């Protein structure tokens, strides 16, 4: 059983998008199987074997762009993953590009970014053990 405090501790070690793969490995060790981060208010829903916990909203409700600009989103994501932006900046850029949430599947080691209609904007493989990357 994992707690929000354990997840927060793992997240505290994330300084940029470059740290994301290590964070995913840390929460896998806690038992998180899937999580969804909602860009409307910044809350995250974590799921594990028979368990579901949610963080409180991080900010007031924000607007997600109606139309998705996939090319712009991919550009901003790449910059973030290379350490070029902090998390709040990246979230704002993702909202402006029409991304409503992302879903991390820790078994498949994927991160799927979704638009307001629930369409996959991008599915990424998360580097790490279990998928041939590290």
CA dist 8 and 4 (Å) reads 6
pLDDT in tens, 36-51: 999 999 999 999 999 9
Instruction: Give 3-state DSSP helix, strand, coil % of the chain, rounded to 5.
Output: 35, 25, 40
pLDDT band, very low/low/confident/very high, at 90 (cuts 50, 70, 90): very high
Q: What is the pLDDT of residue 132?
A: 52
| CA dihedral of residues 71, 104, 81, 124 (deg, nearest 10) | -50
The pLDDT of 31-38, averaged and rounded, is: 97
CA dist 56 and 42 (Å) reads 8
CATH superfamily of the 4-125 domain: YdfO-like (3.30.1810.10)
pTM: 0.87
The pLDDT of 46-69, averaged and rounded, is: 95
């Amino acid at each position: 059983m994992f707690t929000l405090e354990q997840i927060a501790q793992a997240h505290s070690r994330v300084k940029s998008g470059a740290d994301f793969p290590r964070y995913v490995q840390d929460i896998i060790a806690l038992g998180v199987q899937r999580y969804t981060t909602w860009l409307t208010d910044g809350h995250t829903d974590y799921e594990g074997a028979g368990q579901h916990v949610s963080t409180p909203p991080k900010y007031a409700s924000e607007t997600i762009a109606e139309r998705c600009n996939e090319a712009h989103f991919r550009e901003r994501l790449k910059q973030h993953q290379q350490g070029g932006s902090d998390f709040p900046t990246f979230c704002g850029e993702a909202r402006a590009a029409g991304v409503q949430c992302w879903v991390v599947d820790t078994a498949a080691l994927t991160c799927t970014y979704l638009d307001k209609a629930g369409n996959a904007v991008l599915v990424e493989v998360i580097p790490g053990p279990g998928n041939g990357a590290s």
